[in-house]
Structure 1
Amino acid sequence: MKKHKYFLALIVLNLTFSLHSNSYAQTAADSISGPVSLKQAIDFALRNQPTVRQASIDEQINERDIKIGLSAWLPQVNGSGLYNYYYKGSPQAGASGANIPSNAGTIRNLSTLGVTASQVLYNNDVFLASRAKKYSREYYKQNTLSSQIDVVSDVSKAFFDVLLSEKQLDITKEDIIRLQRSLKDAKSRYTAGVSDPTDYKQATIALNNSVATRKQTEEAIKSKTALLKQIMGVGAATQLSLSYDSTRYEQEASIDTLQMLNVNNRIEYRLLETTKALNNLNVNYYRFGFLPSLSAVGSYQHAYFSHDFSDLYNSSFPTGYVGLTLAVPIFQGTKRLQNLAKAKLQVERTDLDLVNTKNSIYTEYTQALAAYKSNYTSYQLIRENVNLAKDVYKVVSLQYREGVKTYLDVIVSQADLRTAELSYYNALFNLLSSKIDLEKALGILPVQQP
């Protein structure tokens, strides 16, 4: 009976632990739901996007590499053990560090136990590691920042692309409602004998075209949403809905176009500068590669020897020493000189990369500024067209019902209104995307740390 109770208690304990672990895992998992704003999408991507997380892991790996390189400055202690059985002859005096007395007789078994220690006083490798840690840390931090900037830019553009398609779908749905009403009016007029069947057929054609456009847009939204989820690091099965704030987006579309470009603000340029600093360290490493390595060493051992194995560890003969070890590279077949020449060439190549990158940055900035100014002008003009097209459609629709205008005029005004609304959202989201490109070109794209 006690065994059964004990077994039952174990089952309950395991179930409790499993439930607690599962609930903790569910709580700890990052998730996103509800209408998602652009800021929420960017924050989620900075926490979960694989590229950003890999860059963060690279930083941690670099920290381990730094500690591995600097560990050579710490004392290195090793233990050693030895056992030999001499089936022929005997060990000589001083074998394995043991001073064997001349009256020791025939020795068949020899064993030594000891510990050795060394401390680097100067070594070119560890000296390089201590100097390079600052630049390597800076390089990987900049690499992480570069990944974050790319993610912010990509998520923002993909977010706007989905919103644009959603607004296009809304406009198409409104257009379908207008066309259905026009079709109803045309059919009524045809039934009443006021108009010929041409109006009715034209209305049907326009409605069918809009229904087909609606389906295409719905499928495009699915495709673009899948791309956005991939860039954000969201699971494919997760439902994602976006929030839209037209007032806020219109307010945030402006940027000071008189800002001066500073290439040092660009992360790509700073990464190259850090790379050049690391390459210069390599030059110094090979330049001073002729310097000797100096280490302090010490050893302490116990030697055991006997004719019979059973008496081997009855008595010991300790030995110990301390000293310095100096290693001087005399000739390495010009290996150091060739590495030095190679390191200098790498620095020279990085200099050319800096020049090329600076020119590319200026070109990218010029193109981004031109695109932003062009899109801003288009946005300002097209925004006025929407209200004008709405007024024209209302008037023409009313005049058609009164028999003043033909149905062709109604179709034209509907098409103008739909084109104006689509052009407005195209202009707005193109302006927002070009603003992101301009901020990225200037090196001022805001990146909030997760």
Structure 2
Amino acid sequence: MKRTIRPLLLATVLCGPLAAAQAQVGSAPTAQQVGTMPLTLQQAIDYAVKNKPTLLATRLGEQTAKAKVGEIRAAGLPQVNVAANVADNFKLQKALVDFGALGGGSSATALTPADVAAAQGGQTVNLGTVTLPSEPVPPQAFAFGLRYAGNTSASVSQLLFDGAYLIGLKAAKVYEQLAQKQTQQAEIDVVEQVSKAYYSTLVARERLALLARNVQRLDTVLYQTSETFKAGFAEKLDVDRLRVQRNNLVVEQQKAQRLTDLSIALLKFQMGLPQEQSVALTDSLGAAVVDAGALRRRLGVASATTGGGVTGLGGVPDAPAPAGTTPDQTRQDQQTALSGGRTSQLSASFNYNNRIEFSTLETQQALAGLDLANRRAGAYPRLLATAAYGFSGSAKEAGDLFAFRGPGSRASNGFPNQNWFGFGNVGLSLQIPVFDGFRRKYQVQQARIQQLTIEKGFETLRQSIDLQDAQSRTTLINALDVLDNQKANLDLASDVARVSRIKFQEGVGSNLEVVSAETALREAQTNYYAAIYDVLVAKVDRDKATGELFNQARK
């Protein structure tokens, strides 16, 4: 980001607009203009956090995590299933049956001559049966069932105990927290991008306004020199020098205007704002510089003034030293800060949890611990309560199957002809893992290794945060010091240019001195505004390193 914005700024501040054109560009659009959106930095951040497409995509991942929690929770609720099926057994399965083993040999009625004579005499005769000798019969093939069969049932199961499920519920909640923190990380990145783009546009516009005054001043000198030349008291070469300089400013002004428009387009892109929407930046550059300068107290560095200038920016006062701080301690903190270390006060107050990356890694560590517990819980028994109820039927013809005749159904001859029968059951299902080929053992090993990896990651992250803290502090200190130096140079260049113009008007100075002084003044202005931008970018980097951008993202 800094690589993108900095060339735009430098290319812009090296240019100067025409006086006539600057009357249109120098003033920022107002809120009363049709279609213009007034924007403070906080408003730009709020809009980006709510509307940036990349953030919206990240929030979809957060919603996916919430849905995942519901999916895992659903496994512990009752599971109800309804099933129905119809089959055409066009070739019934047969099985061999030993009918001879069911009842022995065949039987017959014994009728003797005496029985016949008694019956003829009118007597009652009771005939008996005799068992004939059994003949061996081989097993016969027999088909059970009918061609058409149907079945319908409803079953329900309820998980009573599963250690992995209980741990999975905890892990799902932690996973949701991880998704939220990833969203927060994306918000912080957007805040950083929007802040830098906003400051870049502010600096570019302020620089254009200042260059407009330079053009007006150059036009005044050019007019006075032309009049002096007409009166015979100046050379044509003096007028030509000023005209060449003005012509160069015309070309550079056109380039600067395009690059300024490009910086606004970059801000809109970072916000997720349509390019056709016009905006008006309403924050003060001076207030932003004052905020950056106020960080000197926390950095242990004191400076007389910074941020003042021809645009009316006020000086940045020194903050008083904290109570209980001795001059020797203050000097030691200054040397520590300048060398990139952490001062004694910051060492006591710095909290790694202010960084969202650290908090995210803690969440990942919690997830790794739950994953380890889940692997171990795979050795616990699993208990379910089950129940089912349904009906099954069969028939010789398809149409007869769907007659659905119940227990009270009778055929025309009075025989029962029920073709559907009910069934039901309730029970408990206990599953005890005994041996899985050491699969769970290796899963536990992997989970432990993952935990150790995250623990090592904590140390690496702490070192990275310490380095970013030192780098951002050193960069901001250097930027503030450069700003002080460039402010002093700008004051000197302004004074030299003023004296050169007075000497030329009084006839004791040359036109070449004026041109050289104006060139030096523009270079000092360019360096000054580049230093302001560096300070503001360094402040954003510092806020990110200390975790303060997170608070801005949550506003």
- TM-score over 0.5 (shorter chain): yes
1:300 aligns with 2:389: yes
Structure 1 partner of 2:84: 81
Task: Report the TM-score when normalising by structure 2.
Answer: 0.69
1:369 aligns with 2:458: no
Distance 1:305 1:336 in 2: 47
- 1:283-332 deviation per Cα after TM superposition (whole angstroms, max 9, x unaligned): 12222322232211111111222334344311231111111122333343
Q: 2:215 aligns with which of 176, 179, 188?
A: 176
Distance 2:64 2:377 in 1: 28
Structure 1 partner of 2:362: 273
Note the 1:144-155 alignment, pairs <5 A: 144-155=183-194
Task: Structure 1: give runs of 5+ residues left out of the alignment.
Answer: 1-31, 93-104
1:245 aligns with 2:284: yes
Task: Structure 2: give runs of 5+ residues left out of the alignment.
Answer: 1-34, 96-143, 300-344, 407-419
Q: Structure 1 pair 191/291, CA: closer, same or farther in 2 (3 Å)?
A: same
Tell me whether 350-359 or 420-429 shows the greater mean CA deviation.
Answer: 420-429
Residue type of the alignment partner of 1:117? V
How far did residue 391 of structure 1 move? 4.0
Structure 2 partner of 1:22: none
Note the 1:119-138 alignment, pairs <5 A: 119-138=158-177
How far did residue 199 of structure 1 move? 1.5
Q: 2:521 aligns with which of 408, 417, 438?
A: 417
Q: Structure 1 pair 108/246, CA: closer, same or farther in 2 (3 Å)?
A: closer
Q: Structure 1 pair 91/277, CA: closer, same or farther in 2 (3 Å)?
A: farther
1:62 aligns with 2:166: no
State the number of aligned residues. Answer: 408
How far did residue 335 of structure 1 move? 2.5
Any conservation in 2 of the 1:151–1:231 contact (CA below 8 Å)? yes
What is the RMSD of the two structures over their aligned residues, measured on CA atoms? 2.4
Any conservation in 2 of the 1:165–1:221 contact (CA below 8 Å)? yes
The secondary structure found in structure 2 opposite 1:302 is strand
How far did residue 365 of structure 1 move? 0.5
Distance 2:469 2:526 in 1: 28
How far did residue 83 of structure 1 move? 1.4
Tell me whether 154-163 or 299-308 shows the greater mean CA deviation.
Answer: 299-308
Residue type of the alignment partner of 1:263? Y
Distance 1:133 1:73 in 2: 13
Structure 2 partner of 1:189: 228
Higher alpha-carbon Rg: 2
How far did residue 91 of structure 1 move? 9.2
1:46 aligns with 2:60: no
Q: 1:214 aligns with which of 236, 243, 253?
A: 253
Tell me whether 291-300 or 358-367 shows the greater mean CA deviation.
Answer: 291-300
Q: Structure 1 pair 303/220, CA: closer, same or farther in 2 (3 Å)?
A: same
How far did residue 436 of structure 1 move? 1.5
Any conservation in 2 of the 1:172–1:210 contact (CA below 8 Å)? no
The secondary structure found in structure 2 opposite 1:237 is coil
Distance 1:167 1:309 in 2: 90
Residue type of the alignment partner of 2:82? G
Any conservation in 2 of the 1:113–1:303 contact (CA below 8 Å)? yes
**Identity in percent:** 28
Task: Report the TM-score when normalising by structure 1.
Answer: 0.84
How far did residue 217 of structure 1 move? 1.6
1:427 aligns with 2:494: no
Q: 2:455 aligns with which of 348, 351, 363?
A: 351
How far did residue 124 of structure 1 move? 4.6
Structure 2 partner of 1:337: 441
Any conservation in 2 of the 1:36–1:240 contact (CA below 8 Å)? yes
The secondary structure found in structure 1 opposite 2:507 is coil
Distance 1:51 1:328 in 2: 47
The secondary structure found in structure 1 opposite 2:178 is helix
Q: Structure 1 pair 442/414, CA: closer, same or farther in 2 (3 Å)?
A: same
- 1:88-121 deviation per Cα after TM superposition (whole angstroms, max 9, x unaligned): 34799xxxxxxxxxxxx96332211110111112
Structure 2 partner of 1:100: none
How far did residue 394 of structure 1 move? 3.0
Please identify which structure carries the higher helix content: 1
Structure 2 partner of 1:447: 552
Residue type of the alignment partner of 1:413? A
- 1:358-408 deviation per Cα after TM superposition (whole angstroms, max 9, x unaligned): 101101100111111222233344445545544443332122112111112
How far did residue 158 of structure 1 move? 0.9
Q: Structure 1 pair 129/150, CA: closer, same or farther in 2 (3 Å)?
A: same
The secondary structure found in structure 2 opposite 1:84 is strand
